[in-house]
């Protein structure tokens, strides 16, 4: 598919088929994504791939910790400390849309918890990716990282695969670090589920809206 089709069809998939993803395919998309730009070409990304028994062990340990309420403080703030508009409304629309498709009624805490736990099942995806960054990198390198992550997601679409980037893993970065043997001098940025989307999973029908250009673009006066 061309890049515009990949951009339009990329979405966060929350239900995957068990179809395995060959290592050659993973290497191809990661090599393509590594062409992402970075300041002075420093390429500040590190990727840890997990599959099979190791992935299952990580799922079991993190699910148990989450159910026990044993989350740890995230090492960076993903969301604003104080929500305001228009961001609060967009966040709520996304959450309400997801929960409606998942059949989670408002106020049903048990069902909401079950849906959140799906993050730690990798939504049944056969591949989990974890991304870390050296702790001494500054904000510019985090901008670079975003471009790298987007490149992975678009390359996946080009190969007929789908993804779900997940900050939820940062609530258990201690377990992720221990199970996967991540270095202490690197910070967990996020996880990502990768595989073939399951069209029968209702939440995969979620298509989030995007603001019109007039809301975020200002054109200068033409000469």
What confidence tens digit (pLDDT) does each residue in 170-179 have? 999 999 999 9
Question: What is the rounded CA–CA span in Å between residue 190 and residue 167?
Answer: 5
Question: What is the rounded CA–CA span in Å between residue 37 and residue 148?
Answer: 8
Answer whether residue 5 shows pLDDT above 90.
yes
Helix (H, G, I), strand (E, B) or coil at 2: coil
Q: For 32-43, what is the mean pLDDT?
A: 98
Residue 1 confidence (pLDDT): 86
Question: What is the rounded CA–CA span in Å between residue 50 and residue 129?
Answer: 6
Phi, psi of 180 (to 5 degrees): -95, -5
Confidence of residue 126 (pLDDT cuts 50, 70, 90): very high
State how far the alpha carbon of 60 is from the alpha carbons of 66, 131, 143, in Å: 10, 20, 32
What pTM was estimated for this model as a whole? 0.96
Cα within 13 Å of Cα(148), Cβ side: 26
Residue 117 confidence (pLDDT): 97
Answer whether residue 217 shows pLDDT above 90.
yes
Cβ-contact 182, 130 below 8 angstroms: yes
- Domains delineated in the chain: 3-75+120-201 (3.40.109.10)
Element (H, E) at 50: strand 46-50
Element (H, E) at 64: helix 52-67
List of residues 6+ apart from 2 with CB closer than 8 A: none
What is the percent of the chain where pLDDT is above 90? 98
What confidence tens digit (pLDDT) does each residue in 162-209 have? 999 999 999 999 999 999 999 999 999 999 999 999 999 999 999 999
């Amino acid at each position: 598919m061309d890049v515009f089709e990949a951009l339009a069809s990329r979405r966060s998939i929350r239900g995957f088929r068990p179809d395995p993803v060959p290592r050659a395919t993973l290497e191809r998309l990661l090599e393509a994504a590594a062409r992402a730009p970075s300041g002075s070409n420093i390429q500040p990304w590190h990727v840890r791939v997990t599959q099979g028994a190791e992935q299952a062990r990580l799922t079991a340990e993190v699910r148990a910790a989450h159910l026990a309420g044993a989350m740890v403080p995230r090492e960076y703030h993903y969301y604003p400390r104080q929500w305001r508009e228009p961001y609060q409304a967009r966040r709520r629309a996304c959450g309400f849309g997801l929960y409606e498709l998942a059949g989670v009624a408002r106020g049903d805490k048990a069902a909401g918890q079950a849906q959140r736990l799906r993050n730690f099942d990798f939504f049944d995806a056969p591949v989990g990716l974890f991304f870390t960054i050296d702790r001494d990198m500054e904000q510019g390198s985090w901008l670079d990282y975003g471009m790298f992550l987007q490149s992975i997601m678009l390359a996946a679409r080009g190969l007929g695969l789908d993804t779900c980037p997940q900050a939820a893993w940062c609530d258990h970065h201690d377990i992720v670090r221990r199970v996967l043997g991540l270095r202490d001098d690197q910070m967990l940025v996020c996880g990502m589920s990768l595989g073939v989307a399951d069209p029968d999973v209702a939440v995969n029908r979620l298509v989030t809206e995007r603001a019109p250009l007039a809301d975020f673009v200002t054109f200068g006066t033409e000469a």
